[in-house]
Structure 1
Amino acid sequence: MPTDPVCFAAVIDLHVLIQQWLAGAAQSDQLPALMAHFSPSFSMIGLSGLQLDHAGLHALFTQAYGKRPGLEIGIDELQLIAQADGLTVVHYREHQHDARVLHSVRRSTAVFEQLKNGSLRWLRLHETPCP
Structure 2
Amino acid sequence: MSDANPYFEDIQAVNAEVEAWYTGASQAGALDQLMAHFSPQFCMILPDGGTLDWPMLREIFARHGGQRPNFKIRITDTTIIARYAGGAVVTYKESQWDGGHAANVRRSTAVLEIDAHGRVQWRHLQETFCAE
CA distance in 2: counterparts of 1:122 and 1:65, whole angstroms? 20
In the other structure, the counterpart of 2:14 is 14
Structure 1 gaps, min length 5:
none
Alignment match, 1:48: 48
**Match for residue 32 of structure 1?**
32
- 1:53-91: CA deviation from partner (whole Å, max 9, x where unpaired): 000001110101012111110000010111113021100
Q: CA deviation at 1:119?
A: 1.6
Once the 2 structures are TM-superposed, how far is the Cα of residue 101 of structure 1 from its aligned partner?
5.7
**TM-score computed with the length of structure 1 as normaliser:** 0.92
The two structures have a TM-score, normalised by structure 2, of 0.91
The count of residues paired between Structure 1 and Structure 2 equals 130
8 Å CA contact retained: 1:73, 1:96: yes
Answer whether contact 1:69 1:99 (CA < 8 A) is retained.
no
Structure 1 residue 3 displacement after superposition: 4.3
CA–CA separation in structure 1 for the residues paired with 2:100 and 2:49:
24
For residues 61-80 of structure 1, what are the structure 2 equivalents within 5 Å? 61-80=61-80
Structure 2 unaligned spans of 5+: none
Whole-angstrom CA distance in 2 between matches of 1:19 and 1:13: 10
| Correspondence for 1:83 | 83
Report the Cα distance in structure 1 between the residues aligned to 2:38 and 2:13, rounded to whole angstroms: 13
Q: CA deviation at 1:116?
A: 2.2
User: Identity over aligned residues, as a percent?
Assistant: 38
Q: Distance in 1 between matches of 2:64 and 2:115?
A: 28
